[in-house]
Amino acid sequence: MGAVTLSLVLAASACGGGSSTGGGSNDSPKTLTYWASNQGASIEIDKKVLQPELDKFEKKTGIKVKLEVVPWSDLLNRILTATTSGQGPDVLNIGNTWSASLQATGALLPWDAANFEKIGGKDRFVDSALGSTGVPGQDPAAVPLYSMAYALYYNKQIFADAGITEPPATWDELVADSKKIQATGKQAIGAEGANVSENIHHVFVFAKQHGADFFTADGKPAFTDDKIVEAVKQYVDLMAKDKVIPAGNAEYAQNQSVSDFAKGRNAMLLWQSAAANLTSQGMSEDAYGIAPVPVQSGTPGTGTQINSMVAGINLAVFKNTDNLDGATEFVKFMTSDEEQKILNTAYSSIPPVRTAQDDPAFNTPANAVLKDTLAKSAAPLPQVPDESQFETAVGTAVKELFADAAAGRPVTTESVRAKLEKAQQQMPAK
Amino acid sequence: MPDPTALAARRGPAARRGSPMAPPRSFLWARRVFLTLLTGFVLVPVYVMVSSSLKPLADVSGSFRWLPSGLTIRPYIDIWSTVPLAKYFVNSLIVAGAATVCSVVIAVFAAYAVSRHTFRGRRVFTVTVLSTQMFPGILFLLPLFLLYVNIGNATGIALFGSRGGLILTYLTFSLPFSIWMLIGYFDSVPRDLDEAALVDGCGPLGALFRIVVPAAVPGIVAVAVYAFMTAWGEVLFASVMTNDTTRTLAVGLQGYSTLNDVYWNQIMAASLVVSVPVVAGFLLLQRYLVAGLTAGAVK
Amino acid sequence: MTTTTARPAVREEPPGAAPAGAGRRTGRLRRIGLPYLLLLPALVLELLVHLVPMAIGIVMSFKQLTQFHIRDWGAAPWSGLDNYKVSVDFDAPVGEALLHSFFVTVAFTLLSVGLCWLIGTAAAVFMQDAFRGRGLLRTLFLVPYALPVYTAVITWVFMFQRDNGLINHVLHDQLHLTDEPSFWLIGDNSFWALLIVSVWKGWPFAFLIVMAGLQNIPGELYEAAALDGAGMWQQIRRITLPSLRPVNQVLVLVLFLWTFNDFNTPYVMFGKAAPEAADLISVHIYQSSFVTWNFGTGSAMSVLLLLFLLVVTGVHLAVTSRGRRTADA
């Protein structure tokens, strides 16, 4: 039995990975498999949005696209296993924050100048979106598909009842306004305390506003920097000290804070491109306003005035696709002006393609805030290969700090530093 | 050595009785209190599941209430369109059903071999099979995936992402316990019976199918139920090894906690719907189960 | 493949034609070969799904298998014992976290197995004699075990929500036992929440097995005890419990292994990032390999876990010297 086992192991390792030869081919030019991330209210809704477009593509090129909408909970695992085994889709969506991590695996087709030329050139895309496609200085691992930015969504009625006329522009104002709101018996602002990714997106912005980065220029983690500690503490203090985030939100991880907002329980919500989501929950567009995420002082801009991450979805081509030309053709199709308008409208996101972005559809007041943020005051999350570990380690640290705050345990500079210290030590050794 | 057919017919645990002595008060009270508390513990989640599945969304997304503000069967209609539940259901049925059948057949053969034959390596076999119960699933998730892919590349048999791969995986999950239980059960079937059959000219397999298997029905049912439940409830491997078309209920149910909102009433309705086949089957077969375990596992 | 070609050959043999005509030698060969033939399907499958992948997993534990190398794991650099060193360096965070997770799992498993056994045995003993409604109760008690894991856990999660859940509604709103609604899904309470779910789900199995075990206790023992004047409680203590010992030895071992390795319950309950207090080892290893993309270290941790379970099982078997069937086979 031992011998059989051994030989099977050897067989498995001999072809382990299966894709070591790299390069794609054009062996099956008539079909493509596409993994789409779940963008709409449900997987079924996504299929309804995407299928007509894929049919158009088939009509145009004769290539049949097999669509699978993958839930977020499974997406990274599916990509990982696809990478390990070489058995994957031809084209896939990735969260843009994963770009550098997935780039490091070498499983994705690098978008060099020649490849970009095939889809109309790199210049078609806005810079902020291109900044989230991989490690700076390397050929991007993916092409921007949908862009999103954080904004402050506020309930107009609750604001009026509390006597607030202007949405808060700084965190101090936000806390002050929250107190007025709480005086009317409503909850002030929601958060997803147990959602690791949401935590990362917020503390990243706070860190920027404190003039700090989670990684040094040469890619080493610097989580225990004084300013980082301050930044994380400021975010958690919204619950711990200022008590404007309800304690119950510490266990939220399934977007309950969005429902709370849609149902009028919370006055405010910091969220990325929430319009379609709120509409589908029955909140009318007149009921809420959209303002830029607050800053420490002054107005949003670059440097310490950053008030959002560059959120979004990228489109990547699996390197060992057996329909390289078709895959490129498909990327070109999905990033064409027309498709960009249709898809980004459906998902209430902003097209990362310049020419599509100019369309009047994206000039509504709601979209104007998001577009403005993306253009002027958004920064990409660290584009380092260890990004996914960073999200897990720091995001979990923040989750635990929220749990402390919710349980009434003090959140001090020391306790924040201790959690971040632990997170930093969990990062892979360099 | 208990007679298996008699066991199968017997309805419940053996009465301790023999003595006409009535149980003392303290015993009756202890029993009453304990069983009442336990019933509450068991029932509350079941009640929550049933009642929440009949509530409008507003009732389940606000503070908990024992009684619904109004009853609605809406969730039971909506579950089928929110996620392709019917498709997942069929997948789960196919996967769990096939895994059960294969697992039982293979376990019967293996247990028969161990129970009725002496051969070299018998001990190694039983110990090896049982020891797989110790393997943390997480250790071989990725390797198994790689192996399936490579088998697929080499032979063209699609194991990864297919129902076949999942069936294969699940049947081996229940195999060790099934074999072990059936060895116990077969051991309790009198050997004279199949030896008589052998003398009568049945081959060893004839003896197995005509004598041993019919006598071991309770044990086989118990093993089948166990195998089915194992396959029906598994989450980890299903989440990595299935795709859109082969996704099973265990993974598909996550679809109700969507981007938007957590549709608790629909989740509860769907949970109930997917539980019914297993729970009903399990409860219908419970007396076989007890009889099967009596002779197989605990003898 | 072999099984499908081999089995019909045996089966096609007409029942009347005894091997006598076929010649003594083939008959003997067949008799020797038959058990192996019968075992073949089970063997091949166990090999394919359990043993070979496990061997690969062990090989992986000696490799440096991060996102830079997963694409071709065969070519990933060997890292010697590094993955193991990292895992057992209990002064450094990775090892410390693993050790913490290990202790949490041990505590959780002991409590869960203990409670499952206690409740299951008590229920089975109390229900040994017939009384009105016994059949109904028995059916009811088996429901938690019959429910698919994820539906049971999801229902409990629904009940454990802080703001909208039943548990806090009862404890806080109705009984006013707490000043503030407590958290059950995050923080320290998550351990107890997990334990409750695990016991709810697991005790009926103990109940079922003990119930089966009770059937094998000869009624004469009770009769004799009754004649000696032993009361109900004494009968339970002197006859029922001691007679259950062999059953318990198996039951506890099986429950222990299942609970220790349980992935479904904590994963459905807490997702990929379990709270520290309920950081069970299976999810911890999952996180160490799948979420942080370090399959080498993850595999090393799994191997360590496997070694631990081997030792525990070995000791248990040695102490209880069970293995009537397995060992003397």
pLDDT given for residue B14 in this prediction: 45
Structural domain boundaries enclosing B112:
82-264+272-296
Per-residue pLDDT tens digits for C199-208: 999 999 999 9
Instruction: Give yes or no for A250 touching C (CB within 8 A).
Output: yes
pLDDT given for residue A88 in this prediction: 84
Q: How far is B24 from chain A (nearest CA, A)?
A: 48
Q: Which range among A267-281, B123-137, C18-32, C193-207 has the greatest average pLDDT? A: C193-207
pLDDT at residue A13 greater than cutoff 50: no
Q: Tell me the mean pLDDT in the region A420-424.
A: 91
pLDDT given for residue C313 in this prediction: 86
Position B90 in a domain? yes
Q: Which residue has the higher pLDDT, A231 or B130?
A: A231
Tell me the backbone φ, ψ of residue A267, rounded to 5 degrees. Answer: -80, -30
Instruction: Give yes or no for B267 touching C (CB within 8 A).
Output: yes
CB contact under 8 A, B147 and A8: yes
pLDDT given for residue B80 in this prediction: 87
* Least confident residue range of A205-219, A397-411, C26-40, C54-68: C26-40
Q: Which range among B242-246, C9-13, C138-142 has the greatest average pLDDT? A: C138-142
C-alpha–C-alpha distance, residues B60 and B58, integer Å: 6
pLDDT given for residue A19 in this prediction: 39
| CATH 3.40.190.10 location in chain A | 25-147+312-379, 150-309+386-425
Left, alpha or beta for A62 (phi > 0: left; psi -120 to 50: alpha)?
A: left
- Which residues have C-beta within 8 Å of that of residue C25, sequence separation ≥ 6? none
Position B48 in a domain? no
Q: Tell me the mean pLDDT in the region C235-245.
A: 88
CA angle C29, C33, C35 (to 5 degrees): 140
C-alpha–C-alpha distance, residues A237 and B15, integer Å: 64
pLDDT given for residue A20 in this prediction: 37
Q: Which residue has the higher pLDDT, A428 or C26?
A: A428
pLDDT at residue C6 greater than cutoff 60: no
**Residue of B16, B47, B104 to mutate for C, most C C-beta atoms under 10 A:** B16
Position B63 in a domain? no
pLDDT at residue A86 greater than cutoff 70: yes
Q: How confident is the model at residue C80 (pLDDT cuts 50, 70, 90)?
A: confident
Tell me the backbone φ, ψ of residue A365, rounded to 5 degrees. Answer: -55, -40
CATH of the domain at B280: 1.10.3720.10
**CA C238 to each of CA B283, C219, C221: distance values in angstroms, whole numbers, following the listed order:** 32, 14, 10
Tell me the backbone φ, ψ of residue A269, rounded to 5 degrees. Answer: -150, 130
pLDDT at residue B110 greater than cutoff 50: yes
C-alpha–C-alpha distance, residues C210 and C120, integer Å: 7
Q: Tell me the mean pLDDT in the region A91-118.
A: 93
CB contact under 8 A, A43 and B261: no
* Least confident residue range of A1-10, A271-280, A345-354, B282-291: A1-10
C-proximal residues of B, 15-44, CB under 8 Å: 15-19, 21, 23-24, 26-27, 30-31, 34-35, 38-39, 41-44
pLDDT at residue A297 greater than cutoff 90: yes
Count the neighbouring beta carbons within 10 Å of the beta carbon of residue A77.
Answer: 18
Position B187 in a domain? yes
Instruction: Give yes or no for B156 touching C (CB within 8 A).
Output: no
pLDDT at residue C15 greater than cutoff 60: no
> Which is nearest to A189 in space by CA: A282, A261, A90?
A261
Instruction: Give yes or no for C169 touching A (CB within 8 A).
Output: no
pLDDT given for residue A430 in this prediction: 54
Position B29 in a domain? no
Per-residue pLDDT tens digits for A324-378: 999 999 999 999 999 999 999 998 899 999 999 888 888 888 888 999 999 899 9
CA angle C13, C14, C19 (to 5 degrees): 65
Instruction: Give yes or no for B156 touching A (CB within 8 A).
Output: no
CB contact under 8 A, C292 and A388: yes
**β-strand partners of A317:** A91
Q: How confident is the model at residue B94 (pLDDT cuts 50, 70, 90)?
A: very high
- Chain C residues with beta carbon closer than 8 angstroms to that of B276: none
Q: How far is B72 from chain A (nearest CA, A)?
A: 19
* Least confident residue range of A115-124, A126-135, A359-368, B169-178: A359-368
Q: How many alpha carbons lie under 13 Å from residue C289 in its C-beta half-sphere? A: 31
pLDDT at residue B139 greater than cutoff 90: no
pLDDT given for residue C273 in this prediction: 78
Q: Tell me the mean pLDDT in the region B144-173.
A: 85
Instruction: Give yes or no for C71 touching A (CB within 8 A).
Output: yes
CA B197 to chain centre: 33
Kindly state the tokens that stand for A228.
Answer: 């980082």
Mean pLDDT of chain B: 83
Question: In the B/C pair of chains, how many CB contacts fall below 8 A?
Answer: 335
Q: Which amino acid is at A119?
A: I
Mean pLDDT of chain A: 89
> Which is nearest to C201 in space by CA: C141, C274, C261?
C141
Q: Taking a C-beta distance cutoff of 8 angstroms, is the pair C199, C112 a contact? A: yes
pLDDT given for residue A1 in this prediction: 46
Count the neighbouring beta carbons within 10 Å of the beta carbon of residue C228.
Answer: 10
Owner of token pair 């305390």: A193
pLDDT given for residue C64 in this prediction: 87
Q: What is the pTM of this model?
A: 0.88
Instruction: Give yes or no for C3 touching A (CB within 8 A).
Output: no
Note the CATH number of domain A150-309+386-425. 3.40.190.10
**CA A47 to each of CA A50, A322, A346, B242, C62: distance values in angstroms, whole numbers, following the listed order:** 5, 24, 12, 18, 43
Q: How far is B160 from chain A (nearest CA, A)?
A: 9
Per-residue pLDDT tens digits for A392-410: 899 999 999 999 999 889 9
Position B72 in a domain? no
Q: Tell me the mean pLDDT in the region A74-100.
A: 88
Q: Which residue has the higher pLDDT, B126 or A403?
A: A403
pLDDT given for residue A288 in this prediction: 95
Position B36 in a domain? no
Q: Tell me the mean pLDDT in the region C83-108.
A: 90
Position B279 in a domain? yes
Q: Using CB atoms, pick whichever of A16, A399, A408 lies closest to residue C72.
A: A16
**Residue of B93, B105, B132, B140 to mutate for C, most C C-beta atoms under 10 A:** B140
Q: What domains can be seen in chain C, in order of their start residue? A: 2-51 (no CATH), 82-327 (1.10.3720.10)
Q: Which residue has the higher pLDDT, A255 or C308?
A: C308
Left, alpha or beta for A312 (phi > 0: left; psi -120 to 50: alpha)?
A: left
CB contact under 8 A, C215 and B13: yes
pLDDT given for residue A237 in this prediction: 96
pLDDT at residue B237 greater than cutoff 50: yes
Count the neighbouring beta carbons within 10 Å of the beta carbon of residue A351.
Answer: 29
If one counts the domains in chain B, the total is 1
Q: Using CB atoms, pick whichever of B27, B34, B293 lies closest to residue C209.
A: B293
Q: Which residue has the higher pLDDT, B289 or A174?
A: A174
Owner of token pair 């005086």: A183
pLDDT given for residue B31 in this prediction: 92
CB contact under 8 A, A403 and C186: yes
Instruction: Give yes or no for A176 touching C (CB within 8 A).
Output: no
pLDDT at residue C17 greater than cutoff 50: no
pLDDT at residue C285 greater than cutoff 70: yes
Find the closest chain C residue to A13 by CA distance: C74
Kindly state the tokens that stand for B249.
Answer: 């209920």
Per-residue pLDDT tens digits for B240-289: 888 888 889 988 887 776 555 678 888 899 999 999 888 888 888 888 88
Tell me the backbone φ, ψ of residue A91, rounded to 5 degrees. Answer: -130, 140
pLDDT at residue A255 greater than cutoff 70: yes
C-alpha–C-alpha distance, residues C157 and B261, integer Å: 15
Q: Given CATH 3.40.718.10, say whether it is the number of domain A25-147+312-379.
A: no
Count the neighbouring beta carbons within 10 Å of the beta carbon of residue B153.
Answer: 15
Per-residue pLDDT tens digits for B182-206: 988 888 888 888 788 877 777 777 8
